[in-house]
Amino acid sequence: MTKIKKQWDIIPKENRKHYIEKIITFFAEQKDEEIGMIAAEEFLDFFLENFAQNIYNKGLEDAKLTLKKRFEDFDLDIDLLKQNN
């Protein structure tokens, strides 16, 4: 049986299994509820589908701002290194 990869499913298979186990553990420890593999997988899929893109985009924006600041700092450093005649 071929499994169809969903657009939002960007997690490698090994990591996905680990996250599903963490979800099961979270529900057991924090909610005192037992859920199975299928429910945990659906829970993970729900979050990936609905929130992963926004989290990813926020990370990109943060990286962009950090790089922008570093380049501004480089620009200042280079200006300071210029020799005056």
Average pLDDT, the chain: 90
Q: How far is CA 51 from CA 8, 23, 36, 54, 56, in A?
A: 9, 16, 22, 5, 9
The pTM of this model reads 0.67
Sorted by where each begins, the domain ranges of the chain are: 13-81
Residue range 46-60, pLDDT digits in tens: 999 999 999 999 999
